[in-house]
Homo-oligomer: A and B are copies of this chain.
Amino acid sequence: MPNFTILNRFSSSFRDYNSHLKLVFICTTVSGGGVLGYNAVVGSSEDAVVAAADKKKVVVLGTGWAATSFMKNLNNPKYDVQVVSPRNYFAFTPLLPSVTCGTVEARSIVEPVRNIFPKKNVEVQFSEAECIKIDAENKKVYCRSISKNNLNGQEEFAVDYDILIISVGANVNTFNTPGVVENCHFLKEVEDAEKIRRTVIDCFERASLPDISEEERKRILHFAIVGGGPTGVEFAAALHDFVNGDLVKLYPGIKDLVQITLLEAGNHILSMFDKRITAFAEDKFQREGIDVKTGSMVVKVTNKEICTKEVTNGGQISSIPYGMAVWSTGIGTRPFIKDFMSQIGQGNRRALLTDEWLRVEGFNDVYALGDCATVNQRKVVEDIAAIFKKADKNNSGTLTVKEFQEVMGDIYERYPQVELYLKNKQMSNIADLLKEDNVDVKKQLNIEELKKVLSKVDSQMKFLPATAQVASQQGIYLAKCFNRMEDCEENPEGPLRFRGEGRHRFKPFRYKHLGQFAPLGGEKTAAQLPGDWVSIGHSSQWLWYSVYASKQVSWRTRALVVTDWTRRFVFGRDSSRI
């Protein structure tokens, strides 16, 4: 069906040459997030022809942050990739709370993966399906198509792999609280955000009907948010802005009945942030009439009430009537990942355990990254004997300064906690560690001294947070490893294998924290940047705008998000119930 009119051609050529347009938008997206920029890797132009037999089949599960950043950066023609995910798009999750109130549109924060993945030199196939089982023994995954229309019932199929990359993210965690699944909204997927938006309007429309008692109106207009983490707080703030900026004008009769409550089991909201941010947020919410109830744990949710138990106060139980509840408390494991974990003896964990090269423990050809995985950092102290043995080249039982210096770099590279410890103590290198313990650098070191010096760094071991930042850095890291798989086979670039021969093929994954935002509503954002640099207010809001604009996965979503913001400034948010 060829169809090429003049205008079509004009428009499509315009699209191809849209780089001019980028200039326009660059003005709006001042650097700021440039360093965390998510830029397309241009496929190498030499179209390397690789014999089919030489190719390895990589199966990637998921199209979220981890999978997408892996795919964008993968560039090695030796791989044939098949991506399986129930979503044929990538969703920019940090803007999901904005979608709940129509500050940006759902469609502006998603990009079809078929636009993102195609490469000049890597064969990529996409299947819109969910993985339902991993059979690592036979190197197969079982999948099921997701469309539930009249087409053909649900399709199931199996896919073979040479290498499997698991990046399926996480589930909502209800901590098995009764009634949550039935009665609460979640804020994890694009559909969730759209449903929340519709329900907010629903509550306002419903409370406007005739023949409803004042008490009932109050209940309907009570919005309860469970979980005082960044998502819960941002949603509370966004909802407050939506209500006060737009809805009160349209529903003047009921505006005084609206109540927003934020329930948090801990002592403070935003507890992972700097204390100044927490205090500012709590104070701001209080002034605005958002009721922050800390120390109250939700124990049950019915269709009209939330039951809470005070963490102190002798565990007092109370019931709060509500109209809409949003559950936003931590993440859990997807069922098929749980199954896989019990198969491989990791049944009692929250996430797939990997080594520092993101390989699932016990497998050479299964990688896991993003929210569904957690890196099992190795303690230095477990390896002290091996390190000592490797370093002590002349088997003298003590290390000379030179011997120690020769392994210092490898230690630094192999164990990220060393770097964290040094940073924390504002030291510049491992030698400073020795000085701290008054170990004489001129003398020879014995194993006990080495143990004393190094074991303290293990206190700095942390699990990486389940964030887009971690997931996307892992994706980029893994793609770079895959791109240089053959090169590094010959010339390994990793640290010394203390417990084996030679060097590791790659450097282990290292996370670089670039800071964190907490939008607090009213065009104010809190930003906590590396070095505990804290900034709160309108300027951080503009930083937030520019970082989030610059981090968009494509020029299309970038333009859409920026025009959405502009539309919102000019026209306010839409309250149509669609």
> CB-defined interface of A6-19 with B at 8 Å, one 1/0 digit per residue?
11100110110010
Copies in the complex: 2
A417–chain B nearest beta-carbon distance, Å: 40
Question: Do residues A18 and B571 form an inter-chain contact, with CB atoms below 8 A?
Answer: yes
> CB-defined interface of A78-115 with B at 8 Å, one 1/0 digit per residue?
00000000011100000000000010011100111011
> Which residues, 477 to 495 on A, are CB-close (under 8 Å) to B?
none
Contact (A210, B15) CB under 8 Å given A7-B538, A571-B559, A574-B112 = no
Whether, in the assembled complex, A199 has its beta carbon less than 8 Å from a beta carbon of chain B, the answer is yes
Contact (A126, B18) CB under 8 Å given A570-B559, A575-B114, A577-B87 = no
Bound form: Cα–Cα A33–B3 in Å: 29
Query: What residues of B have a CB within 8 angstroms of the CB of A88 in the complex?
Result: 201, 205, 575-577
Contact (A209, B1) CB under 8 Å given A152-B220, A250-B115, A569-B11 = no
Q: Closest residue of chain B to A575, judged by CB? A: B112
Query: What residues of B have a CB within 8 angstroms of the CB of A52 in the complex?
Result: none
> CB-defined interface of A538-577 with B at 8 Å, one 1/0 digit per residue?
1001000000000000011001100100010111101111
Whether, in the assembled complex, A470 has its beta carbon less than 8 Å from a beta carbon of chain B, the answer is no
Question: Do residues B245 and A145 form an inter-chain contact, with CB atoms below 8 A?
Answer: no
CB-contact partner of A578 in B3, B89, B245, under 8 A = B89
Question: Do residues A209 and B563 form an inter-chain contact, with CB atoms below 8 A?
Answer: no
> Which residues, 193 to 231 on A, are CB-close (under 8 Å) to B?
194, 199, 201-203, 205-206, 208-212, 216, 220
The contact size tier of chain A is 35 or more
Question: Do residues B569 and A559 form an inter-chain contact, with CB atoms below 8 A?
Answer: no
Question: Do residues B15 and A521 form an inter-chain contact, with CB atoms below 8 A?
Answer: no
Contact (A250, B183) CB under 8 Å given A128-B209, A560-B567 = no
Q: Closest residue of chain B to A159, judged by CB? A: B210
Question: Do residues A205 and B128 form an inter-chain contact, with CB atoms below 8 A?
Answer: yes
Q: Closest residue of chain B to A194, judged by CB? A: B578
- The segment out of A236-244, A326-334, A341-349 that lies at the interface is A236-244
Bound form: Cα–Cα A323–B151 in Å: 6
A264–chain B nearest beta-carbon distance, Å: 19
Whether, in the assembled complex, A177 has its beta carbon less than 8 Å from a beta carbon of chain B, the answer is no
CB-contact partner of A191 in B145, B251, B288, B578, under 8 A = B578
Question: Do residues B250 and A149 form an inter-chain contact, with CB atoms below 8 A?
Answer: no
Bound form: Cα–Cα A119–B114 in Å: 48
> CB-defined interface of A330-365 with B at 8 Å, one 1/0 digit per residue?
000000000000000000000000000000000000
Q: List 14 A-B contacts (CB under 8 A).
A: A1-B289, A6-B523, A11-B523, A15-B570, A18-B570, A89-B578, A107-B578, A110-B578, A111-B576, A127-B209, A127-B210, A150-B303, A151-B206, A155-B211
